[in-house]
Amino acid sequence: MALLAHSAKGAGSMICAQRYAAIAGALEERAPSAPLEEMQQLAGELAAAFDEFLATLASREG
């Protein structure tokens, strides 16, 4: 999970998705020791941040 979160953090940073990258960073940091419930919550927040980023992009297209 930490490796995937690290990759997501880097990808988010490269595309200027700051909230997404920050949550991915928290996932990366917490992965080794966090309880499952916390990881599930962070994963949900990460998905929501990605959806928000996509919505922002879509609003700028047209």
Please choose, from the candidates 18, 22, 19, 40, the residue with its C-alpha nearest in 3D space to the C-alpha of residue 31. 40
* Paired tokens of 46: 């990460």
> What are the pLDDT digits (tens) for 33-50?
999 999 999 999 999 999
Contact 30, 38 (CB under 8 A): yes
CA distance 44 to 42: 5
Average pLDDT score, the chain: 95
Q: What is the pTM of this model?
A: 0.90
Q: Mind listing the pLDDT tens digit of every residue in the chain (62 residues)?
A: 999 999 999 999 999 999 999 999 999 999 999 999 999 999 999 999 999 999 999 999 86
Q: Please count the structural domains in the chain.
A: 1
Q: Which domain holds residue 17?
A: 2-61
CA distance 9 to 13: 6
CA distance 18 to 36: 24
